[in-house]
Structure 1
Amino acid sequence: MSKTTLINRIAMIRSKKYFRKKYGADFFAVLKKKSNTRLNEILPAVPDIGDSVFAQNFSFCPCYIAWYKTFLELGQSNTEACENLWAMNENLITMIPKAFRGFANKQSVDALYKKGRQHEIRSSDNTVHPYDWKIRNLKFAENVVEYEIYECGMIKLCRDYDALGLFPAMCRMDYLMSHYLGSGFERTKTLGDGDDCCNCRLLVVGECEWAPEKGFDNRK
């Protein structure tokens, strides 16, 4: 079983109660069946970007596309579909016991420390996989990692499947993840909002509010 298929299965298990309560058991049954079918249609054509620092991010993308397209097929607005994707990710991240979330965050940061410089060079040389992310201006300081993304692998794949409506909602997921993983996160520009880059600033240990009801005018 591929990592993406496993993500889909776990996400459906974790979100079963949420969707049944919100829309009813019949809705969830149709959602599960249709999104599974759509994912199985997508996966054979999804490239393997290799041992990239962003490989974990990319493994989620086919699921997001399948879920999003299914929500739209079931008559949901773009806004409602994206909000439900936020909820599914929240259900996924909260399955990790709070005591272990710091370890999950450390793994992500360690990947940047170990592979980030080389990835930045390969981005500049245009030798990363065509569907990978490209980064520049990578900086490390005490408890801080900064970098700019100027090409997004998720946007590239979503473009293939007419799923660009996922953006910029997918960009906001970084605030959700940081909130639950115990890190700080700041950003004022994203490619998903039409900017020239995503200017990410990560506090390895910190706090990040997840409050979509407040909007994202000053934190993209």
Structure 2
Amino acid sequence: QFRRERTKTMQKFIYRLTMCRSKGYIQKQYGKSFWKSFREHSDAVFRQVAAELPDIGDSIFSFNYAYAPSYVAWYRSMRQLGLDAGQADDLMWKMNEKMLLSVPKPFLHMAGKSYLNSFRKKAKQHLQRQGKPGFSEYDWLIDYRDIDANSFEIDIRRCGFITVAKKYGVEGMLPGICSVDYMVSYYMGNGFSRTKTLGDGDECCNCHYELTGKCPLRAPEGMK
């Protein structure tokens, strides 16, 4: 019960902070009337999705999963209010950037290394959980490989965001939200690359991470 409440608190924090940080930008780009309608529609969808989505337990992807209700709410609202797919992708990207840059860059660099180190330590446990009863259908299925002291790789075979997108009929937000991985790595000072993405129809997301490395702000041409 405590974990469930913690998840709900994180979902609300992500949603509210991002909306607050994005308000001025959205009003400037699309007007105050659009913002008002966007906020009202997003609030309603967020409450519904957050109440319905099951908890995925003590997963290494639980923080990622906490974004799911917000992504559904924002993308559905954007499209309903008349934004085309490209505009919605761009605005989703910008909202993620606004939220991420709420944290000063020196702290982002520390957080990036801490997150990847924690992921490495918990990866083996996640692999063991994958084959056991009770593993959520909304959780991520992965293969994991240690490369060296600075780098590791994961192949994502099933992505929780895709599962959620299909449930709520917002598959159009893929592969746009996948490109956020590059943004996060860029600002956190981590190395990141991949040549395949589930959201673009490939059989996996073949992700290469480096605790200390370089990453472009946006996905290279042809990649998500």
Q: How much does 1:140 deviate? A: 4.0
Aligned residues: 217
| Residue pair 1:119, 1:128 contacting (<8 A) in 2 also | no
Instruction: Output aligned runs, 1:140-151, within 5 Å.
Output: 140-151=147-158
Is residue 206 from structure 1 mapped to residue 213 from structure 2 by the alignment?
Answer: yes
Instruction: Give the Cα separation in 2 of the matches to 1:14 and 1:23.
Output: 15
| Residue pair 1:183, 1:204 contacting (<8 A) in 2 also | yes
Residue-by-residue CA offset, 1:56-83 (whole Å, 9 max, x unaligned): 0000011001000000010111111111
Counterpart of 2:181 (choices 174, 187, 191) is 174
Instruction: Give the Cα separation in 2 of the matches to 1:216 and 1:7.
Output: 29
Counterpart of 2:21 (choices 14, 26, 29) is 14
Question: TM-score normalised to the size of structure 2?
Answer: 0.92
1:95 aligns to what SS in structure 2? coil
Structure 1 pair 166–53 and aligned structure 2 pair: CA distance change class (3 A): same
Instruction: Give the Cα separation in 2 of the matches to 1:191 and 1:32.
Output: 30
Counterpart of 1:36 (choices 40, 43, 46) is 43
Question: TM-score normalised to the size of structure 1?
Answer: 0.93
Residue-by-residue CA offset, 1:73-101 (whole Å, 9 max, x unaligned): 10111111111000000001111101101
Counterpart of 2:57 (choices 26, 33, 50) is 50
1:202 aligns to what SS in structure 2? strand
Structure 1 pair 77–18 and aligned structure 2 pair: CA distance change class (3 A): same
Instruction: Give the Cα separation in 1 of the matches to 2:151 and 2:138.
Output: 27
Counterpart of 1:130 (choices 137, 142, 163) is 137
Q: How much does 1:147 deviate? A: 1.2
Instruction: Give the Cα separation in 1 of the matches to 2:99 and 2:38.
Output: 17
Code of the residue aligned with 2:214 in structure 1: it is E
Instruction: Give the Cα separation in 1 of the matches to 2:188 and 2:199.
Output: 23
Instruction: Give the Cα separation in 2 of the matches to 1:104 and 1:31.
Output: 31
Structure 1 alignment gaps of length 5 or more:
none
Counterpart of 1:192 (choices 196, 199, 203) is 199
User: Could you say which residue in structure 2 is the equivalent of 1:183?
Assistant: 190
Is residue 25 from structure 1 mapped to residue 22 from structure 2 by the alignment?
Answer: no
Give the CA RMSD over aligned residues. Answer: 1.5
Segments ≥4 residues shifted beyond 6 Å? none
Code of the residue aligned with 2:197 in structure 1: it is T
Identity of aligned residues (%): 36
Instruction: Give the Cα separation in 1 of the matches to 2:68 and 2:156.
Output: 17
Q: How much does 1:124 deviate? A: 4.5
Instruction: Give the Cα separation in 2 of the matches to 1:50 and 1:216.
Output: 36
Code of the residue aligned with 2:158 in structure 1: it is E
Residue-by-residue CA offset, 1:157-201 (whole Å, 9 max, x unaligned): 111000111111111110011111111111000111111111000
Structure 2 alignment gaps of length 5 or more:
1-7
Is residue 100 from structure 1 mapped to residue 107 from structure 2 by the alignment?
Answer: yes
